[in-house]
Amino acid sequence: MSKHASSAAAVQGSNSASKSQSDKGSRYFQLMLLVLAAGAIYPILYLRQVYQTTMLEVFQINHSELGYLYSMLGTIFLLSYLPSGWLADRIAPRFLIFFSLVATGALGLWYSTAPSMTGLMIIFGCWGLTTGLTFWASVLKRVKMIAHHTEQGRFFGILDGGRGLIEALLATVALGLFAYATETRGESTAEGFKHVVYLYSFTCIAIGCVLVLIKDPKSMEDTPPVEKGRFNLFTDLATLVKIPELWLVTAIVFCGYHIFWATYSFSDYLQGSGLTAVMAGTITTIKLWMRPIGGIGGGWLGDKFSNISVLIVALLLASLAIVGLIVFPALNSMGLLIATVIFIGLMTYAIRGLYWAILDSCDIPLRITGLAIGIVSVVGYMPDAFIPLINGYLTEHFPGALGYKLYFGYIAAIGLIGTLAAVTLRARINRKSLKKTGA
Please report whether residue 363 resides in a domain: yes
**SS3 of the chain:** CHHHHHHHHHHHHHHHHHHHHHHHHHHHHHHHHHHHHHHHHCHHHHCHHHHHHHHHHHHCCCHHHHHHHHHHHHHHHHHHHHHHHHHHCCCCHHHHHHHHHHHHHHHHHHHCCCCCHHHHHHHHHHHHHHHHHCCHHHHHHHHHHHCCHHHHHHHHHHHHHHHHHHHHHHHHHHHHHHHHHHHHCCCCHHHHHHHHHHHHHHHHHHHHHHHCCCCCCHHHCCCCHHHHHCCCHHHHHHHHHCCHHHHHHHHHHHHHHHHHHHHHHHHHHHHHCCCCHHHHHHHHHHHHHHHHHHHHHHHHHHHHCCHHHHHHHHHHHHHHHHHHHHHHHHHCCHHHHHHHHHHHHHHHHHHHHHCCHHHHHHCCCHHHHHHHHHHHHHHHCCHHHHHHHHHHHHHHHCCCHHHHHHHHHHHHHHHHHHHHHHHHHHHHHHHHHHHHHHC
The pLDDT of residue 225: 41
Over the stretch 249-273, which tens digit does the pLDDT of each residue have?
999 999 999 999 998 888 888 877 7
CB atoms within 10 A of CB 219: 12
Is residue 260 domain-resident? yes
- Residue 28 is assigned to a structural domain of this protein: no
CA pair distance 294, 38, nearest whole angstrom: 17
Spatial distance between the Cα atoms of 270 and 171, rounded to a whole number of angstroms? 18
Q: How many CA atoms lie within 13 A of 41 on its CB side?
A: 29
pLDDT tens for residues 329-371?
767 777 888 889 999 999 998 998 888 888 877 777 777 777 8
Over range 38-63, report the average pLDDT.
88
* Residues 6 or more apart whose Cβ sits within 8 Å of residue 259: 315, 318, 319, 322, 344, 347, 348, 351, 411, 414, 415, 418
> Would 399 be classed as within a structural domain?
yes
The CATH number for 113's domain is 1.20.1250.20
Q: Which residues contact 414 (CB under 8 A, 6 or more apart)?
A: 255, 258, 259
pLDDT range class, residue 183, cuts 50, 70, 90:
confident
389-423 pLDDT, tens digit each: 898 889 888 887 788 889 999 999 999 999 999 99
Is residue 236 assigned to a domain?
no
Residue numbers of the domain that contains 421: 34-215+243-438
Tell me how far apart the alpha carbons of residues 195 and 200 are, in angstroms, rounded to a whole number: 9
pLDDT confidence band for 6 (50 / 70 / 90): low
Phi and psi at 324, nearest 5°, equal: -60, -35
Confidence label for 182 from pLDDT (cuts 50, 70 and 90): confident
| Mean pLDDT computed over every residue of the chain | 83
C-alpha–C-alpha distance, residues 321 and 337, integer Å: 10
Number of structural domains (the chain) is: 1
What sign does the dihedral 106-108-114-115 (CA atoms) show?
positive
Residue 382's φ and ψ, nearest 5 degrees, are -55, -30
Residue 82 lies in a domain: yes
Contact 387, 61 (CB under 8 A): no
Residue 231: pLDDT band with limits 50, 70, 90: low
User: Full-prediction pTM beyond 0.85?
Assistant: no
Which has more pLDDT, 323 or 50? 323
Question: For residues 374 and 87, what is the distance between their CA atoms, to the nearest angstrom?
Answer: 10
The pLDDT of residue 227 is 45
Domain annotation covers residue 5: no
228, part of any domain? no
The confidence score (pLDDT) of residue 408 equals 93
Q: Which amino acid is at 143?
A: V
Percent of the chain with pLDDT over 90: 28
pLDDT at 38 over 60: yes
> Given pLDDT bands bounded at 50, 70 and 90, which one contains residue 125?
very high
